[in-house]
Amino acid sequence: MISVFVYGTLLVGESNYYVAEPFVRSVQPGAVRGRLYDVGHYPSLALNTAEDAEAQEGIVVGEWLEVTEEGLKAMDILEDYYGPGQSNEYERVWITDVNGSREGWVYIWQNVSGLIEITSGSWKVK
């Protein structure tokens, strides 16, 4: 199984969960260090800067999906991720949960200039 941290439209009950659902084997709550930004119909996650990390600031709440390899491929297509070094809308990077108990993939979008931060850190609690 492959662990993927989701924080927006891939959350259970959200508009794109159907993409992952056939491949999901388990869902667990989680949180990672970063900041969430509103892109309109979906959010983007930016990893914490060195200053944020040092201050222990910026927590994004979401879910860890355990998916099959086919599930990861389906999410890659949704997120316009074509592989390392490609022209990707989102990058897929390895991340660890804030409590250190879980790690896996997450899709991030580092170019958040001009976007409004979702200060709650939760797509469901904007």
Other Cβ atoms less than 10 A from the Cβ of 123: the count is 22
Catalytic residue (choose from 21, 66, 79, 89): 79
Quick check: is 103 catalytic? no
CB-count exposure of residue 77 (10 Å: 0-12, 13-18, 19+) = exposed
Taking alpha carbons only, the member of 12, 18, 110 closest to residue 64 is 12
Element holding 18 (H helix, E strand): helix 17-20
What are the catalytic residues?
79
